[in-house]
Structure 1
Amino acid sequence: MASANPHKAVEIAAVLAEAMPAVEIVPRPPELGDVAEDGETLADNALIKARFVCAAAGEPSIADDTGLEVDALGGAPGVYSARYAGPEADSAANLAKLMAALVDVPPSQRTARFRTVVALVYEGAAPQLGAHEHPSVERPHVLAEGVVEGAIAMAPRGDGGFGYDPVFVPREAAPLTFAEMSAEAKNRISHRGRALRALLAKL
């Protein structure tokens, strides 16, 4: 698993374990350094991470990149969701910037969606950990996408999930935010769950 985000890792492992119980999901080796997610699209970033870890760990690697697209903000923060408030910003800062940007936007105009692209990169991996190559090196891969439509709440609600979950109200579960749902309920309709199930269908 290429993600260094422990919350994402838990969600990815849960969905894959349910669908493919015979497959072992291995956490990202802690000795790997960070890789710059400087792609222009979600697919670019997912592939950068998966290629990097596949090459370094010598195993097939799965990674995702997720963006929150808010219509009133022209689709922002989008691919910059994880660093919306700056390269060193945490989730709280990103959330605060989002809510400030929408402070005068009424509920009817707060439509948004979460979009996730998942990448699986495999074969041709380096023989030992640490044999890094440039993450743009082409390898066999599979991409899949998942989208969930919804809206941005007027204020954060709930203490579950992570990132923008306290303010995102998925259409299928309204008026609950993702942060007010159980992990199992969220995974059934979430962007990441849908992307992973689409990936499994391709495999």
Structure 2
Amino acid sequence: MRMGLRCRKLAHAVLAFSVSLPAFASVARAMPKRPMPQAIVFVTGNAKKLEEVKHILSSGSEELPFEVTSQKVDLPELQGSSTKEIAVEKCRLAAEHVKGPVMCEDTSLCYHALKDLPGPYIKWFLEKLGHEGLNKLLAGYEDKSAYAQCLFTLCAGPGKEVRVFDGRTEGKIVEARGPKDFGWDPVFEPLEGEGKTFAEMAKEAKNAISHRGRALQQLRTWLIANAATFEAESK
């Protein structure tokens, strides 16, 4: 008797659950879906750089209300009176090409003894001279100090305002140490790096003090605080 009663109760419960499933499904369909986050195109063809940028932007307790994608865009070599002016024009052209929200990066490595050279041309200096050559540029100077600068520019679309976020880290040029697979990191030893080059530092430690990390944290803070404004500008 007891087993029969239990079986009947179980059968009723299963039947009631199966009857309610369509109701649950209709409620779920009626619920508003969470909109997909708007995409901001990071103009780069460097997968490793994209990975680092996404990692930095995803840090923090508050979620970034935008998705970051990437696209390689061939832009003309620009000339200007300042690094900031060039960065702004580059972002403006990128927004016209992408026809939507974009962010661009312009990085400089500036030697005080060489009056801020290589500066924004560091990419080509590295390609031609290598890490050893970058170090030898200061062979005749006692002053080995330098600073790394990163300008991140953000634009909601063609014809929209370009915003600039400036990160800077002081340090010095040393003989290459650490992995050599990420730009000039092996020859730059930041003052806050406890004697390590960028290449020798753990990812989290580097991002906390790097020029890129500082610029991106400014960008992230602005986007979170002004998400509605930026989204409206992009439409």
> TM-score under structure 2 normalisation?
0.68
**Which of these residues, 131, 146, 151, is aligned with residue 95 of structure 1?**
131
Aligned 8 A contact 1:187 1:193 in 2: yes
String of CA shifts for 1:12-52, please: whole Å, max 9, x gaps.
22111224444211111x5x4x1123233332343344223
Please state if 1:116 is matched with 2:137: no
Compared CA separation, residues 139 and 21, structure 1 to 2 (3 A): closer
Aligned to 2:66: 23
Q: 1 or 2 for the larger relative contact order (CA 8 Å, sep ≥6)? A: 1
Aligned to 1:130: none
> TM-score under structure 1 normalisation?
0.78
Aligned to 1:37: 77
Partner SS for 1:119: strand
Q: Distance in 2 between matches of 1:68 and 1:147?
A: 10
Partner SS for 1:27: strand
Aligned residues: CA RMSD: 2.2
Identity, % of aligned positions: 31
Moved over 4 A (4+): none
Please state if 1:197 is matched with 2:217: yes
TM-aligned CA deviation for residue 94 of structure 1: 4.6
Q: Distance in 2 between matches of 1:65 and 1:94?
A: 20
Aligned 8 A contact 2:75 2:94 in 1: no
Structure of higher CA gyration radius: 2
**Which of these residues, 129, 147, 151, is aligned with residue 168 of structure 2?**
147
Count of residue correspondences: 179
Code of the residue aligned with 2:141 in structure 1: it is V
Aligned 8 A contact 1:2 1:49 in 2: no
